[in-house]
């Protein structure tokens, strides 16, 4: 990176911190919550894009990895005193009933456990071809959910865990997001990232270049799962409750929508798209409400309309704009500067004419 | 004809069957250090398949592949590449959407020592390694006359340049043995001529041993010390260019078969 | 002795053991009927995969839509059931054809992942569309007296539909095998599935074959949906998801691209699932996990499935 660009990046991050401080102080809770969700979905979608877009593995297991992180935070940060109230149907297993962890510890352990489970799952499935890989990872994501639903003395089963201390405020979430993005960007731009892209482009050629396919696929899969676990942990500590229904694979479809819209293989595209889709889904909730204009009921608007639009969006992108917003390109300072210059130039020109 | 007791590459009665088809039968070739050896034969003779066996893409049904005194039969392609065997592909397999620079950088990855965390967090060791890789790639790019294409997508290059890039990429893995699968395919006589010199040049410069498949007979006859001729998976002749050219079996095998001009 | 008890339970319908033996018989009947339903749906997956090398993620949702069509035909429009069944089958076949036209055909030469995403998108869309049109609340599938009647066999009362399902499945399977093996369009289908490029060069009308494949696969899913509804009388937008995934797995287990294989896989899955519940009731909560574990095992140890052939990639 050039020195000038480095300075610009630092300014950008500083600006982001100012924005967070302002948001924290002055924005209402609803807006803050939407901003937080956007950031969490950014982490989740970006980590899925590492696996799917950059390494070319068609994995559909993200909801499961997210669940692992979320439950880790849920199980171990609920204060020991109130656990009997949360686990009222079946008491918590004695082995873990007295273990309580600070949020950050549970968050990181959740990421690590998620990566470990990814390792166990990856060992058999990463050898499979793309479409089988999709089904197998989807299956494992469901198995994780089924295990969570059934392991009642640990996870409280289908009742879910309530009263999770909602410690994930906007600072926690945004700082975690910045770290995650930075790590993934640095990784992608390293020799390992190039190896991932090589695998995506042509496995046989990559292997002929001495790249161990399995090792690198596993690496990408586990790192992606780690950040999915982190995203899940933040999610649990933002909402204050988790239950197995939060992690249906429809959630994975949502992440898929984000990365397809943003561009499979583009970090900046994923970030933009995570904000557009997440905020869009929040702010378009009115589509699900019956609407009448001047006393005439508009028949389209009723529950479910919003998701019809978003699933249609996924179809339209893949059918007509296959590369999404960015394809595999990135927004960089060069582009922004050029854009700025062009803009300035045009102003000067129009000034001359007048 | 030189018969070294310790060849760099040796296949011992290698056979491979695809269902009912025996694509390569009892192939025994030897390539000594510093030689250029050619593998020729009509279409479908099993030449590419032999390459695929040597580089670990296919495991042979029977027989052994010995490289540098070690049995490499059944090893995976990446392991074999790491031991010093690099190849190009008949139907060019570049990383199409990546730049020329990235294509060659990828081929340096196998020599990287740093782990992923060291790489992502840019530890000093990784920085030093990355710097060395960049220098190496820069050198190769200059040498192969690819400077003006450096940032172009591989798929956007003219065909001949793509072939050159594939060889540059193979060299970036630091091989001792280079396998070229029809490097002159689609080239006109002048280009072929240039390529012939070029292969000699890089062979000397990088201290390589070369095994190549080629249909352009002028190229084959000019640069290869020894030639093996395959037909329907069988080795029908071997020897120097002259010996092979005058072998009636070879003439028969090629009869009616159009050679690439 | 333990083995005596087991043998008694299996073979001697003595009064003392009547419960266990009759429930075993019940489980057997359930296994056969669930297996048949899976088989009918699995055929659609296997046929499409055989020709397009594509997992039709939306097949389970086609099945779901068929169940809604049947619900509307009988419960809302009060058509006699044989007429509404025929209409349901035709409508579902048309839906399948439309799906292929809209979601798959434009992408036929696109990278494989795009088609996969389109398939997932189509599935996602149909689920959301059903939620929107019919609401997410489950609807009761109308009871059809003819099927719901029970007969008493060996001390157990079993619904007629339980017997009906395997019989219907076998009939449709025979018809299908006849079409595939003996008719012109069936021959074209096999040619395309064996070697797409060559078939195209030989002048087979690929589009027609594909349309036909989607029509048949969807029609069979419709038959499955009708019988599913009479057996498990609840219709809701997500009802196709789990059966869909399981039936794809059934197709893989039997050997993808192979029609008898899909039927075999369907039976293995249906039977296995019911027997798991019967023999290890404590694992009932894990019944949906069974299929996925089977999938992983098959892919690891016999990736071509039980009846499938090997396909190698050329370099
Ligand atoms: N993976 C495979 N599965 C089945 N048959 C194969 C496979 N790979 C190669 N073959 C067959 O093996 C035979 C030899 O093929 P090969 O590609 O080695 O020929 P070749 O000598 O390189 O010919 P060309 O000069 O046309 O490149 C051919 O008949 C080919 O169809
Ligand atoms: Mg060849």
Q: Which of A100-104, B158-162, C9-13, C49-53 has the lowest mean pLDDT?
A: C9-13
φ/ψ (deg, to 5) at B130: -60, -40
The finding on whether B59 has its CB within 6 A of some atom of ligand 1 is no
The model's pLDDT over C212-270, given as tens digits with 9 standing for 90+, comes to: 999 999 999 999 999 898 888 899 999 999 999 999 999 999 998 888 999 999 999 99
Residue identifier of the C-alpha nearest atom 12 of ligand 1: B23
The CATH class given to the B1-84+177-261 domain equals: alpha beta
Tokens linked to B102: 């990235």
CB contact under 8 A, B52 and C315: yes
Would you say the CB of residue B45 lies under 6 angstroms from ligand 1? yes
- C34, C35, C40, C46: CA torsion to nearest 10: 140
User: In this predicted structure, which of A67-71, B47-51, C28-32 has the lowest mean pLDDT?
Assistant: C28-32
B-C CB pairs within 8 A amount to 5
Answer whether residue C140 is part of any domain. yes
Distances (CA, A) of B248 to B235, B236, C36, C228: 14, 10, 65, 72
Q: What is the pLDDT of residue C311?
A: 54
pLDDT of B258 higher than 60: no
Report CA(B49)–ligand 1 centroid distance (Å): 6
Residue C199 placed within a domain = yes
Give partners of C (≥3 CB pairs < 8 A): A, B
What is the DSSP code (8-state) at residue B4? -
Chain C residues near residue B89 by CB distance under 8 angstroms:
315
Partners of chain B (3+ Cβ pairs below 8 A): A, C
Q: Which helix (H) or strand (E) holds C3?
A: helix C2-11
Domain that holds residue C98: 41-241
- Which residue's alpha carbon is nearest to atom 10 within ligand 1? B23
pLDDT value at C80 more than 90: no
**For residue B172, how far is its CA from the centre of ligand 2 (angstroms)?**
23
pLDDT, tens digit only, all 354 positions of chain A: 678 888 888 898 899 889 988 988 888 888 999 999 999 999 999 999 999 999 999 999 999 999 999 999 999 999 999 998 888 888 888 888 889 999 999 999 999 999 999 999 999 889 888 888 998 899 899 899 999 999 988 999 989 999 999 998 899 999 999 999 999 999 999 999 999 999 999 999 999 999 999 999 999 999 999 999 999 999 999 999 999 999 998 899 999 999 999 999 999 999 999 999 999 988 888 888 877 777 777 777 778 888 898 899 999 999 998 888 888 888 887 777 777 776 665 555 544 444
Number of compact structural domains in chain C: 1
Contacts of C132 in chain A (CB under 8 A): 302-305, 307-308
CA distance B73 to B59: 7
**Sorting pLDDT into bands at 50, 70 and 90, what band is C191?**
confident
Give which of A1, A191, A211 to mutate to test B binding, by max B Cβ within 10 Å.
A191
- Interchain proximity B18–C315, CB inside 8 Å: no
Determine the distance in angstroms separating the CA of A153 from the nearest CA of chain B, rounded to an integer.
36
* CA C183 – CA C193 distance, rounded (Å): 15
Q: Any idea where the domains of chain B sit in the sequence?
A: 1-84+177-261, 94-174
Please name which of B177, B168, B165 lies closest in space to residue B67, comparing C-alpha atoms: B177
The label of the residue with tokens 């059809």 reads: C144
| The predicted structure's pLDDT at residue C8 | 38
Question: Is B233 a residue whose pLDDT tops 50?
Answer: yes
Spell out the residues 6+ positions from residue A6 whose beta carbon is closer than 8 angstroms to its own: none
Whether residue B167 has pLDDT greater than 50? yes
Complex confidence, ipTM: 0.92
Q: Is B48 in the pocket of ligand 1 (CB under 6 A)?
A: yes
Reported pTM = 0.91
Please give the pLDDT value at position A122: 93
List the structure tokens of C13.
């319908």
Residue C313 tokens read as 């990639």
Task: Render B194-239 in DSSP notation, one character per residue.
Answer: HHHHHHHHHHHHTT-EEEEE-S-HHHHHHH-SEEEEEETTEEEEEE
Average pLDDT over residues B58-75: 94
Q: Which atom of ligand 1 is nearest to the CA of B90?
A: 27
Determine if ligand 1 sits within 6 Å of the CB of residue B47.
yes
Q: Is B216 exposed, middle or buried (0-12, 13-18, 19+ CB in 10 A)?
A: buried
Beta carbons of A306 and A288 less than 8 angstroms apart:
yes
Which of these, A43, A95, A92, A30, lies nearest to A69 by C-alpha position?
A: A43
Read off the pLDDT of residues C97-110 as tens digits, 9 standing for 90 and up: 999 999 999 998 88
**B130 shares contact with chain A (CB less than 8 Å):** yes
Q: Is residue C22 very low, low, confident or very high in pLDDT (cuts 50, 70, 90)?
A: low
Closest CB to A210 among B82, B116, B121: B82
Question: From 1.10.3470, 1.10.760, 1.10.357, 3.40.50, which CATH number describes the A3-348 domain?
Answer: 1.10.3470
């Amino acid at each position: 990176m050039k020195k000038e660009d480095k300075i610009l990046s630092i300014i950008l991050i500083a600006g982001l911190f100012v924005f967070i401080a302002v948001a924290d102080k002055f924005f209402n809770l609803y807006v803050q919550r939407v901003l937080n969700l956007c950031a969490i979905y950014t982490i989740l979608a970006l980590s899925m894009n590492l696996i799917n877009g950059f390494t070319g593995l068609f994995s559909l297991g993200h909801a499961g990895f997210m669940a692992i992180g979320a439950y880790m935070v849920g199980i171990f940060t609920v204060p020991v005193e109130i656990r009997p109230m949360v686990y009222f149907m079946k008491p918590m297993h004695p082995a873990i009933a007295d273990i309580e962890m600070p949020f950050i510890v549970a968050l990181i352990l959740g990421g690590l456990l998620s990566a470990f489970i990814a390792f166990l799952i990856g060992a058999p499935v990463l050898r499979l071809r793309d479409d089988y890989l999709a089904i197998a990872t989807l299956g494992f994501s469901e198995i994780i959910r089924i295990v969570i639903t059934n392991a009642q003395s640990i996870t409280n089963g289908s009742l879910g865990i309530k009263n999770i201390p909602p410690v994930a405020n906007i600072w926690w979430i945004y700082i975690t997001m910045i770290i995650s993005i930075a790590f993934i960007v640095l990784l992608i731009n390293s020799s390992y990232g190039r190896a991932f892209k090589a695998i995506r482009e042509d496995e046989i050629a990559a292997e002929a270049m001495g790249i161990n396919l399995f090792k690198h696929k596993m690496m990408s899969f586990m790192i992606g799962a780690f950040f999915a676990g982190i995203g899940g942990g933040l999610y649990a500590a933002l909402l204050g409750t988790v239950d197995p229904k939060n992690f249906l694979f429809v959630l994975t479809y949502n992440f898929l929508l984000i990365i397809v819209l943003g561009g499979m293989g583009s970090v900046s595209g994923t970030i933009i798209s995570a904000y557009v889709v997440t905020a869009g889904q929040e702010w378009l909730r009115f589509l699900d409400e019956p609407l009448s204009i001047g006393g005439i009921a508009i028949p389209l608007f009723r529950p479910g309309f919003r998701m019809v639009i978003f699933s249609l969006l996924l179809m339209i992108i893949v059918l007509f704009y296959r590369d999404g917003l960015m394809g595999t390109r990135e927004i960089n300072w060069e582009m922004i500067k050029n854009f700025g210059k062009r803009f300035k130039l045009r102003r000067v020109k129009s000034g001359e004419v007048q | 004809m030189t018969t070294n007791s310790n060849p760099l590459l040796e296949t011992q009665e290698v056979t491979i069957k695809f269902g009912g088809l025996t694509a390569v039968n009892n192939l025994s070739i030897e390539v000594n250090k510093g030689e250029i050896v050619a593998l020729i034969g009509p279409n479908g003779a099993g030449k590419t398949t032999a390459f695929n066996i040597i580089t670990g893409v296919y495991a042979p049904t029977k027989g052994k592949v010995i490289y540098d005194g070690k049995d490499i039969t059944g090893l995976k392609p990446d392991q074999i590449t790491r031991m010093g065997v690099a190849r190009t592909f008949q139907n060019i397999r570049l990383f199409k959407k990546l730049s020329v620079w990235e294509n060659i950088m990828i081929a340096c990855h196998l020599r990287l020592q740093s782990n992923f965390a060291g790489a992502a967090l840019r530890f000093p060791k990784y920085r030093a390694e990355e710097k060395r890789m960049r220098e190496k790639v820069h050198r190769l790019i200059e040498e192969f006359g690819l400077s003006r294409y450096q940032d172009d997508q591989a798929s956007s290059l003219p065909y001949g340049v793509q072939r050159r890039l594939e060889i540059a990429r193979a060299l970036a893995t630091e091989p001792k043995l280079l396998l070229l699968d029809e490097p002159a395919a689609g080239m006109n006589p002048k280009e072929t001529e240039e390529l012939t010199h070029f292969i000699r040049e890089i062979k000397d410069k990088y201290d390589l041993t070369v095994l190549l498949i080629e249909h352009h007979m002028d190229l084959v006859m000019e640069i290869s010390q020894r030639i093996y001729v395959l037909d329907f998976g069988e080795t029908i002749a071997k020897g120097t260019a002259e010996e092979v050219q005058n072998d009636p079996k070879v003439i028969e095998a090629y009869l009616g078969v159009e050679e690439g001009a | 002795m333990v083995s005596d008890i087991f043998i008694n339970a299996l073979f001697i319908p003595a009064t003392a053991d009547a419960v266990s033996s009759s429930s075993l018989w019940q489980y057997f009947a359930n296994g056969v009927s669930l297996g048949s339903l899976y088989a009918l749906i699995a055929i659609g997956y296997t046929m499409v995969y055989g020709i397009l090398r594509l997992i039709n993620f939306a097949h389970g949702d086609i099945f779901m839509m068929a169940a809604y069509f049947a619900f509307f035909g009988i419960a809302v429009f009060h058509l006699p059931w044989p007429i509404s069944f025929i209409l349901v089958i035709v409508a579902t076949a048309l839906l399948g054809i439309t799906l292929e036209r809209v979601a798959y055909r434009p992408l036929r030469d696109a990278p494989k992942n795009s088609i996969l995403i389109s398939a997932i998108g189509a599935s996602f869309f149909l689920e959301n569309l059903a939620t929107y049109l019919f609401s997410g609340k489950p609807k009761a599938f109308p009871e059809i007296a003819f099927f719901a009647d029970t007969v008493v066999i060996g001390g157990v009362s079993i619904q007629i539909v339980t017997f009906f399902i395997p019989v219907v499945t076998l009939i449709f399977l025979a018809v299908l095998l006849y079409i595939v093996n003996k008719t012109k369009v069936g021959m074209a289908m096999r040619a395309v599935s064996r070697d797409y490029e060559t078939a195209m060069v030989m002048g087979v009308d690929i589009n027609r074959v594909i349309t036909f494949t989607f029509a048949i696969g969807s029609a069979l899913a419709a038959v499955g949906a009708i019988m599913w509804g009479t057996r498990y009388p609840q219709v809701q937008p997500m009802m196709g998801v789990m059966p869909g995934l399981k039936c794809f797995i059934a197709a893989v287990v039997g050997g993808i691209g192979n029609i008898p294989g899909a039927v075999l896989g369907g039976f293995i899955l249906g039977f296995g699932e019911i027997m798991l519940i019967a023999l290890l009731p404590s694992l009932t909560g894990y019944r949906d996990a069974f299929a996925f574990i089977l999938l992983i095992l098959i892919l690891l140890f016999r990736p071509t499935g039980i009846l499938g052939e090997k396909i190698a990639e050329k370099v």
